[in-house]
Amino acid sequence: MLKLWSMKKEQQKQENADAAVGKKKKITAAQLRVQKDLSELSLGTTMQTIFPNPDDILNFILEIKPDEGVYNGGKFTFTFSMSAAYPHEPPKVRCQQKIYHPNIDLEGKVCLNILREDWKPVLNLNAVIVGMQFLFLEPNASDPLNKEAADDLRASRETFRRNVKASMAGGSVRGTIYDNVMISQPKR
Amino acid sequence: MADSNETRRWQYLDQIRRNPGPFNQDSDVSEEALQALGQHKVLVIGAGGLGCEILKNLALSGFKNIDVIDMDTIDISNLNRQFLFRKDDVGKYKAEVAAAFVEKRVKGIKITPHNCRIQDFDEDFYKQFQLVVCGLDSIEARRWINATLVNMVDMDDSDSLKPLIDGGTEGFKGQTRVIIPTLTPCIECQLDLYTPRAAVPLCTLATIPRQPEHCIEWAHIIAWDQEKPFPDLDKDDPEHITWLYQKASARAQEFGITGVTYSLTQGVVKNIIPAIASTNAIIAASCCNEALKIATTIAPSLGLEESYMMYSGDDSIYTSTFKYDRKPDCPVCGGAAKPLAVDPGITLRELLDSFAVKPDMQLKKPSIRANNKTLYMQFPPSIEAQTRPNLDKTLKTDLGLDTGHEIAVTDPAFPTITFNFILSFTST
Distance CA B201, CA B277 (A): 34
* Domains along chain A with CATH numbers: 27-177 (3.10.110.10)
What is the CB-side half-sphere exposure of residue B274 using CA atoms within 13 A? 6
* pLDDT tens digits, A122-138: 899 999 999 999 999 99
Distance CA A70, CA A162 (A): 9
pLDDT value, residue B358: 82
With CB atoms and an 8 Å threshold, state whether A38 touches B377: yes
Q: Per residue of chain A (188 residues), what is the pLDDT tens digit?
A: 557 888 888 887 776 555 544 456 778 889 999 999 998 888 989 999 999 999 999 999 999 999 999 999 999 999 999 998 898 889 999 999 999 999 999 999 999 999 998 998 889 999 999 999 999 999 999 889 999 999 999 999 999 999 999 999 999 999 999 999 998 765 45
Residue among B295, B336, B378 minimizing CB distance to A17? B336
User: Which entry of B203, B215, B287, B288 is annotated as an active-site residue?
Assistant: B203
Query: How far is B112 from chain A, CA to nearest CA, in Å?
Result: 22
**Helical segments of B107-237, H only:** 123-126, 139-152, 202-207, 212-218, 224-227
Distance CA A157, CA A138 (A): 12
With CB atoms and an 8 Å threshold, state whether A2 touches B383: no
User: Which entry of A58, A61, A111, A114 is annotated as an active-site residue?
Assistant: A111
Distance CA B427, CA B108 (A): 53
Please check whether residue B175 is in contact with residue B280, taking contact to mean a CB–CB distance below 8 angstroms.
no
A95 as an active site residue: the answer is no
Contacts of A141 in chain B (CB under 8 A): none
Mutate to test the interface with B, among A3, A4, A11, A125 (most CBs of B within 10 A): A4
Q: Say whether residue A10 is in contact with chain B using an 8 A CB cutoff.
A: no
Peptide bond into B380 cis (omega under 30): yes
pLDDT value, residue A186: 52
Contacts of B339 in chain A (CB under 8 A): 18-20
- Considering only residues 114 to 143 of chain A, which have any Cβ-Cβ distance to chain B shorter than 8 Å? 116-117, 119, 121, 143
* Domains along chain B with CATH numbers: 2-194+275-322 (3.40.50.720), 202-269 (1.10.10.520), 338-425 (3.10.290.20)
| CB atoms closer than 10 angstroms to residue A61 | 16
Distance CA A136, CA A102 (A): 10
Using CA coordinates, name the residue in chain A closest to B181.
A8
**Complex confidence, ipTM:** 0.82
pLDDT value, residue B380: 92
Please check whether residue B167 is in contact with residue B50, taking contact to mean a CB–CB distance below 8 angstroms.
yes
* pLDDT tens digits, A99-118: 999 999 999 999 999 999 89
With CB atoms and an 8 Å threshold, state whether B226 touches A39: no
Distance CA B287, CA A28 (A): 29
pTM of the model: 0.75
Contacts of A41 in chain B (CB under 8 A): 379-380
Distance CA B95, CA B85 (A): 10
How many CB pairs (< 8 A) connect A and B?
Answer: 182
Distance CA A161, CA A128 (A): 25
With CB atoms and an 8 Å threshold, state whether B294 touches A1: yes
